Each structure stands twice: as structure tokens, then as C-alpha cells.
Amino acid sequence: MPRPFRQSLGHAWRGLQIAWKTQPNVRIHFVIAASVMVIALVLRKTLLEISILLVTISVVVVAELINTAVEILSDIMHPRVSKNVEILKDVSAAAVLVASGVAALVGMLLFFG
């Protein structure tokens, strides 16, 4: 039987709190995201521009959360360093790098373009 939606939300919230407490990059992404949104509001960006920023920011945060989950699972499944686990972690981190780079480009286009 599926668990109640409220319980699922509780687990998701707990996961976000754990990521916040244990992952410095998650905190960095959230601080940058909040700063960008404040600047966008101060500069009175359009609703469309703010929406684009929110979608872009969410892609970066989701990539970082998935990267965190991959790293944790890799450490559980293969505690000793292996070449495949190292590649898995590097590729997962690359996803965050690509998302962050595109987000920075989108931000530059919206603020300076």
C-alpha cells in the first residue's frame, strides 16, 4: 500500500535537511540562488525572467542532490575505492558542473545581455 503523501513529503524534507547539513556545495548553491533571486527582484526582472532563473536554479540544486545521493550510495555499495566508483562519482559531479555552468550563462544573459 502506498505511503501517505504527507509522509513522503516528510521524507523528502528530511533528505533536504540532511543534504543541507552535510554537503557544503548544497549550501553554496542555495546561498547563490537566494542572492540571484534577491538581485532579480531588486532589478525588477520580469515574471518570465524570474521563472527562467527559478527553473535554472532548480536544475542545479536537483543535480547536486542527485550527485550527493550517488556518492552516498557508491560509498555504501563499494566502501573501498575502485576505478568504476571513481568514474561514477566524477561523472555525477560533471553533471553538477554542466548544470552550474549553464545556470551561470543564463544568469549572465538575463542580467547583462
Contacts of 96 (CB under 8 A, 6+ apart): 25, 60, 63, 64, 67
Q: Over the stretch 18-56, which tens digit does the pLDDT of each residue have? A: 999 999 999 999 999 999 999 999 999 999 999 999 999
Can you tell me the distance from the alpha carbon of 34 to that of 38, in angstroms, rounded to the nearest whole number? Answer: 6
Q: What is the 8-class DSSP label of residue 3?
A: P
Q: What is the CATH number of the domain that holds 101?
A: 1.10.287.3610
Tally the domains of the chain.
1
Domain containing 33 equals 5-112
pTM (predicted TM-score): 0.89
**Within its chain, how far is the Cα of 33 from the centroid?**
10
Question: What's the whole-number average pLDDT of the chain?
Answer: 94
Q: Over the stretch 52-106, which tens digit does the pLDDT of each residue have? A: 999 999 999 999 999 999 999 999 988 787 899 999 999 999 999 999 999 999 9
